[in-house]
Amino acid sequence: MSAATLTFLSDTLVRILVFLSLIIVLDLKYGFTDIPNFGITGFFALGAYTTAVLTATDPQYGIGLGLPWWSGWLVSVVVVAAAGALLSLATLRVDELYLGLVTFAFAEIVLVIIRNLQPITGGSLGLIGIDPLLPGADPFLRAIFYLAAALVLVALFAAGWYRIATSPLGRVLQAIRVDELVAKTSGKHTLVFKIKIFTLGSAAIGLVGGFWATYNGGIVPNMFELQILLLIWIGMILGGNRRLSGLVVGAFVIFSLRIGTRFVSVPFITETQFASLRGVVIGLMLILIILYRPQGLLGNSKEIL
């Protein structure tokens, strides 16, 4: 294989791994506590834009402070964690469905603000000039380096997921999911647990956002639109939530479909038509999974969505 093919493969893989890490976080929140986070792309965008504004040098539009990458990532983690803590503090008392709507509204507000604050964020034109890791390195070498970094990220998240799932905290979360009232009666302050997990998850998303901004070198609001949110959700449900293997399968199936087909051309139909066709397939997948396989491809039929 040529270096170009390998670079393309590694790029696709990095993108899938980034979304896999988001799916792991989403599952940690939803799978364990039934917190339906429809705002995950909002937190993701917040993290990415924080890093972008802090680390970009001379962007055409918007602000770039030119700080080193690690400071951007660090601030992203803090900012997104703080946003998550505030939002959960304010909302976790309401019903789950309402919470889903609140987080969704939050994500949309973040996007509208990013699109319209052009002096800071570059608006819909995006923010470019974010310095890559290993600035002087050979592109191929850098691609491998990013791949390694993404693998470490996912491994870290998976380990964290597993650690929490098997810890006393995980058991409390499971108890909350099955029956919050019982958990409360057993003396667990369920609200505190929910806020903890939501904040922790947000911090993790902030880190992924920072990585995403640095990796892409430039970001636009459309990278965080509704379509992506849906793909992350479908990725979580597809393989079966609450098990790591299911999340991995789901992420790879759905995001290879999305990312791996970017440069595929099909005879007789235009590019837009191909994108539409892909959208139809994704919609149908969502419908069929929920109708016929709510526990996911690898799921256990006793654990239903």
Partner 1 sequence: MDFLTPVAFGIVFGAIISVPAMGMSIVYRTTDVLHFAWGAYMMLGAFVAFGLQQVGVGIVPSVLLSTLVVGLVSVALSEAVLRPLYGRGLLSLLLVTIGIDRVLLNGVQFFAGPDSRIFQVPSFGVISRTPVITVRSVLFVAISVGCFLALYYVMFRTGFGRRLRAISANADLAEVRGIDTRRELTKMWFLTGALAGLGGVMIGIRQGFSPYLGQLMVPYLFAAIILGGIEDFRGAFVAAIALGILVRSISRISATEWGLAATFALILVVLLVRPTGLASIWGSDERVDVT
Q: Using CB under 8 A, list all residues that contact partner 1.
A: 36, 90-91, 94-98, 100-102, 105-106, 108-109, 112-113, 115-116, 226, 230, 233, 237, 272-273, 275-280, 282-287, 290-291, 294, 304-305
Could you tell me the smallest distance in angstroms from the CB atom of residue 98 to partner 1? 5
Torsion of CA 205, 207, 208, 211, to 10 degrees: 160
For residue 18, count CB atoms less than 10 angstroms from its CB and return exposed for 0-12, middle for 13-18, buried for 19 or more.
Answer: buried
**Residues paired with 130 in a beta bridge:** 56
Q: Which is nearer to partner 1, 100 or 218 (CB)?
A: 100
Q: How would DSSP label each residue in 15-55?
A: HHHHHHHHHHHHHHHHHHH----TTHHHHHHHHHHHHHHHH
Q: Which is nearer to partner 1, 264 or 291 (CB)?
A: 291
The residue type of 111 is L
Q: Which is nearer to partner 1, 2 or 272 (CB)?
A: 272
Could you tell me the smallest distance in angstroms from the CB atom of residue 187 to partner 1? 24
| Token pair belonging to 217 | 């070198």
Could you tell me the smallest distance in angstroms from the CB atom of residue 288 to partner 1? 8
Q: Which is nearer to partner 1, 22 or 92 (CB)?
A: 92
Could you tell me the smallest distance in angstroms from the CB atom of residue 249 to partner 1? 18
Alpha carbon of 80 to those of 22, 23, 46, 135, 232: distances in Å?
14, 17, 7, 27, 18
Could you tell me the smallest distance in angstroms from the CB atom of residue 36 to partner 1? 6
d(CA 272, CA 62): 30
Q: Which is nearer to partner 1, 67 or 275 (CB)?
A: 275
Strand, coil or helix: 126: coil
Q: Which is nearer to partner 1, 218 or 294 (CB)?
A: 294
d(CA 85, CA 45): 16
Could you tell me the smallest distance in angstroms from the CB atom of residue 94 to partner 1? 6
